[in-house]
Amino acid sequence: MAKRQIQAQRKPVAKPAKKSMSDQRWLVWVPVVVAVLLYLTGLKNEMLGVDDHTATVDNPAVRDGKLLTHFNLGMYAPLTWMGYALAHALGGNNPVWYHLLSLLVHAVNTWLVCQLFLRLTGGRMLVAAAVAFIFAAHPIQVESVAWIAGFSTPLYALFYLLACHRFLDFRERAGEWKAYGLALLFFVLASLAKSAAVTLPLTLAVLDVWRGNAPTWRRRLLEYAPFGVVALGFGLLTIYSREQAMLHTPVLTDPISGWERLLVLCYTPLFYWWKMLLPLQLNIYYSFDKVDGQFPWTYYAAPFAVAAVLWVAWRYRRQASWAWQGVLWYFAAIVVMLPWKSLGSFEMRADHYNYLALIGFAWVVVKGWSALQQRSDTGKIGIPPLLLGGVWMFALAALSLVQIRTWKDTITVITHAIDNGYTQNGLLYAGRAKAWGSRGKLQEALADFDKALEINPQLTEVYKYRGALLGFAQRFEESLRDLNIYVEKHPDEAEAWYNRALTLVNLNRFEEALHDLNRTLELDPDFTRAYRARGNVRQQLGDPAGGAADLAEYERRMGLGGE
């Protein structure tokens, strides 16, 4: 009897039950709070000279309310412009309101990502919160959120994620066509924020593969069809808007052949994955640089590496379904933003293209940790993977703080890229020169303009800005030299003739100045400032009647709200 009592006492005590999901609901807000706290540090960042003004205060859609009838920066994004218009109405040129808007949208997106993975994992709160944390805090997201001109990315992602949620409602509630209609509506809104949203039909197919209980392929294709039609329409519109902006004209110093294009396409996702794993030296621009006319060996190895990743993910899709799911999500979200072709002065490789694609990477990382942790629990791995994962996630937030400060002003963000070896064929030097010029730093600006032309003599715009800067410094002969070159290259640009006329006036060469002002008004009769300048020149040349007529025309136009 005593022996039986002792054995009973030695009976293992049952482990306490795991906390229910309702006890962990607070975890949903951890990544959201982290997103808010991180980007609050960037509210005082300046409006950059890299597209920020063009996208906002100089955008007719924002300034004049022409939301539906204009393209801007090669885009048709009226919903994004509505966001800019709201920030402009609240604070004009004050960048705080634009940054605050991006912060709020990113925080909402983080919450939506967490909710999405609660659905996809059957309520596994820790997993969902970890994926959302990576989405919220990863430094590769900084470009999308801290760059005012990048606001279209988090905004389209907001409606993209809402569409995913409503499509899952449609799948989970058979015959819930209202949810289907809402998913389609959110898709249209996402596309009106940024045309990159056209990848949504692919992502919906990935969600069906992920869940594994979707209807037959024939029925699925019919359900995807309306999304495909919307995607095709916005895709064609984007091609047209790009052509209108002349972004299709390459100015590359090293053109990329068809075979090299394949190398670039395969190398780019590997480049991104490495940046996601070790997010160091993130820049506003990444070029594809050759050495002695050839790409480095890593480019030639890239097709084999990508093929190996896809084969392994497919081969073990049943044992490690999470790897296949993550790879599919990543490529579905980013496929149209890979560098299929050159667009104007740049190749399509940038951090902000990964804003939604990062979700697939985060899923693989989190599930990979979990799988390794299980092996660690059996003693097969010494250092707990979850501990290493926690350190890595903390490092993400810390590096994001540093990266947000990198975006504080034009000079800082461009200098960071130049110091890391990226010049965008001289354009980054030209951009920094303009920023130096706006600060009155003449020598720094001229040095950068010289460097830009040294790298790429085809950057004729440098002559325009350097000529104006030299004129401001009263170095009129040098100014005229640059402006002569620019007028020769751009004889149909009214402003080029006007700028040269002002320099000629300062050199007391009034007859030549009058010729340039006449040409200005031939090219653009609505160039209001040219009437005032011509009026003064005519008076200098002894034509008081003609001068008075021009000055009266200038005053009349200004009274009508002219330029």
116 HSE (CA, 13 A, CB side): 26
Mean predicted confidence (pLDDT) in 207-219: 84
Going from the C-alpha of 255 to that of each of 239, 311, 418, 542, the distances in angstroms are: 21, 31, 21, 55
* 80 lies in some domain: yes
Instruction: Give yes or no: residues 470 and 399 share one domain.
Output: no
Query: Distance of CA 352 to CAs 80, 140, 559, Å?
Result: 16, 7, 44
pLDDT at residue 75 is higher than 90: no
Scan for tokens 């885009």, then name that residue: 75
Residue 503 and residue 492 in contact, taking contact as beta carbons nearer than 8 Å = no
Confidence of residue 382 (pLDDT cuts 50, 70, 90): low
Q: Are residues 379 and 522 in the same domain?
A: no
- 157 found inside a domain: yes
Exposure letters 370-383 (e unless 16+ CB within 10 A, then b): bebbeebeeeeeee
Specify whether 326 is located in the same domain as 433.
no
Residue 533 placed within a domain: yes
Check residue 5 and give its pLDDT.
44
- Residue 494 domain flag: yes
Is residue 403 located within the same domain as residue 436?
no
Does some domain include residue 316? yes
Taking only the tens place, the pLDDT of each residue in 456-486 is: 888 888 999 999 889 888 899 999 999 999 9
72 backbone φψ class: left, alpha, beta (φ>0; ψ -120 to 50)? beta
User: Which band of pLDDT confidence, cut at 50, 70 and 90, is reported for residue 348?
Assistant: confident
348's tokens: 């399509």
Q: State the Cα–Cα distance between residues 187 and 506, nearest whole angstrom.
A: 56
76/379: higher pLDDT = 76
Q: What is the DSSP string of 421-455?
A: T--TTTHHHHHHHHHHHHTT-HHHHHHHHHHHHHH
- Distance between alpha carbon 220 and the CA centroid of its chain, in Å? 32
* 57 — pLDDT class (breaks 50, 70, 90): confident
Of 347, 378, 411, at which residue does a domain stop?
411
In a domain, 416, yes or no: no
Indicate if the pLDDT at residue 17 is higher than 60. Answer: no
Q: Are 371 and 320 in contact, with CB atoms under 8 Å apart?
A: yes
The amino acid present at 178, given as its one-letter code, is K
pLDDT at 379 over 80: no
User: Other C-beta atoms within 10 Å of 199: how many?
Assistant: 22
Residues 341 and 406 in one domain: yes
Judged against a pLDDT cut of 70, whether residue 99 lies above it is answered with yes
Residues 109 and 171 in one domain: yes
Which pLDDT band, with edges at 50, 70 and 90, does 343 fall under?
Answer: low
- Nearest-CA neighbor of 412 among 397, 402, 399? 402
Looking at the structure, do residues 203 and 97 belong to the same domain, yes or no?
A: yes
Distance (Å, whole) CA 455 – CA 380:
54
Most confident range (mean pLDDT) of 75-79, 308-312, 493-497 is 308-312
pLDDT of residue 377: 60
Confidence at residue 66, expressed as pLDDT on a 0 to 100 scale: 75
Q: Residue 506 in contact with residue 476, Cβ under 8 Å? A: yes
* Whether residues 475 and 391 fall in one domain: no
Residues 509-524 have pLDDT tens digits of: 999 999 999 999 999 9
Domain end marker among 385, 411, 437: 411
C-beta of residue 427 within 8 angstroms of C-beta of residue 452:
yes
Residue 380 has pLDDT above 80, yes or no: no
Q: Are residues 499 and 531 in the same domain?
A: yes
Mean pLDDT (whole number) for 112-122: 95
Average pLDDT over residues 225-246: 84
For 79-97, what is the mean pLDDT? 91
Q: Which residues of 284-298 are buried (b: 16+ CB within 10 A; e: fewer)?
A: bbbbbeeeeeebeee
Residues 283-286: contacts with CB under 8 Å, at least 24 apart: 283/351, 283/416, 283/417, 283/420, 283/422, 284/50, 284/143, 284/147, 284/350, 284/413, 284/414, 284/416, 284/417, 284/428, 285/346, 285/350, 285/417, 285/422, 285/424, 285/428, 286/347, 286/349, 286/350, 286/422
Q: Are 7 and 114 in contact (CB under 8 A)?
A: no
Q: How confident is the model at residue 344 (pLDDT cuts 50, 70, 90)?
A: low
- pLDDT bracket for residue 292 (50, 70, 90): confident
Predicted local confidence at residue 197, as pLDDT: 95
Return the axis-axis angle of helices 494-506 and 528-540, rounded to nearest 10°.
30
Alpha helices in 194-280, H assignment, sequence order: 200-211, 217-244, 258-277
Question: Quick check: 248 pLDDT over 50?
Answer: no
Average pLDDT over residues 405-420: 94
User: What is the three-class DSSP state of 107?
Assistant: helix
The number of domains in the chain is 2
**Distance (Å, rounded) from C-alpha 524 to C-alpha 247?**
24
> Is residue 217 situated within a structural domain?
yes
Q: Are 118 and 125 in contact (CB under 8 A)?
A: yes
* Residue 543 pLDDT exceeds 50: yes
Over pLDDT 90: what percentage of the chain?
64
pLDDT tens, 417-463? Answer: 999 988 888 889 999 999 999 888 999 999 999 999 998 888 888 99
The owner of tokens 């060469």 is 509
Are 539 and 397 in the same domain? Answer: no
The more confidently predicted of residues 194 and 70 is 194
Confidence of residue 7 (pLDDT cuts 50, 70, 90): very low
- pLDDT, position 346: 56
Residue of 3 and 174 predicted with greater confidence: 174
Q: Hey, what are 487's tokens?
A: 């007028």
CA 205, CA 214: separation in Å to the nearest integer? 9
| Confidence at residue 70, expressed as pLDDT on a 0 to 100 scale | 78
Q: Are residues 374 and 458 in the same domain?
A: no
pLDDT at residue 376 in the model: 67
| 299 and 213 inside one domain | yes
Looking at per-residue pLDDT, the higher value among 344 and 563 belongs to 344
Mean pLDDT taken over the chain: 87
Q: Are 176 and 169 in contact (CB under 8 A)?
A: yes
Residue 381: the pLDDT is 54
Q: Which pLDDT belongs to residue 58?
A: 83
Q: From the centroid of its chain, how far is CA 459?
A: 24
- pLDDT for 149 equals 92
Q: Which of 109, 166, 97 is nearest to 133 (CA)?
A: 109
Question: Which has the higher per-residue pLDDT, 59 or 412?
Answer: 412
pLDDT of 67 above 50: yes
Q: Which of 383, 411, 439 marks a domain boundary?
A: 411
CATH number at residue 432: 1.25.40.10
The answer to whether the CB of 159 falls within 8 A of the CB of 390 is no
Distance CA 518, CA 538 (A): 11
pLDDT at 12 over 70: no
Residue 395 within a domain:
yes
pLDDT of residue 513: 94
Length of the chain as a residue count: 563
Please, how many CA atoms are within 13 Å of residue 322, restricted to the half-sphere of its CB?
17
Higher pLDDT, 255 or 346: 255
Q: Which of 129-143, 333-347, 397-411 has the lowest mean pLDDT?
A: 333-347
User: Which of the four pLDDT bands, split at 50, 70 and 90, describes residue 246?
Assistant: low
Cβ neighbours of residue 144 under 8 Å, at least 6 residues apart?
Answer: 102, 106, 150, 153, 154, 351, 352, 355
Q: Which two tokens stand for residue 162?
A: 């809402």
**pLDDT at res. 3:** 44
Whether the per-residue pLDDT at 1 is higher than 60: the answer is no
**Of the given ranges (276-290, 375-389, 539-553), which has the lowest mean pLDDT?**
375-389
- Residue range(s) defining the domain that contains residue 497: 423-559
